[in-house]
Amino acid sequence: MKVTYIGHSGFLIESGSCCCLFDYYQGEIPSLPEDKPLYIFVSHRHQDHFNPEIFQIAGPKKRSTTFSPRIPEDI
């Protein structure tokens, strides 16, 4: 298991079977292996714990799931 601190409250955890991204706000995200699903966790909607870019991180070909409280469409 590999844990990467991304900045502020953000962490990326890579295990043998998946990658988990927690509270991404800003900073460089290491390249993600194409063969592992990405699980994105948002603890709450404060701007220093959530960046709308998370919805583009995986790209159209990568399998991903986002777990979060309700996020308004205007964010």
Q: Which residue has the higher pLDDT, 51 or 8?
A: 8
Decide if 6 contacts 27 (C-beta within 8 A): yes
Give 75's pLDDT tier (boundaries 50, 70, 90): very low
Given this model, what pLDDT does residue 41 score? 86
Within 8 A by CB and 6+ apart from 29, the residues are 6, 12, 21, 57
**SS3 label, residue 57:** helix
How many residues are recorded in the chain?
75
What pTM does this model have? Answer: 0.73
Angular region, 14: left φ>0, alpha ψ -120 to 50, beta rest: beta
The SS3 assignment for 75 reads coil
Checking if the pLDDT of 40 tops 80, the result is yes
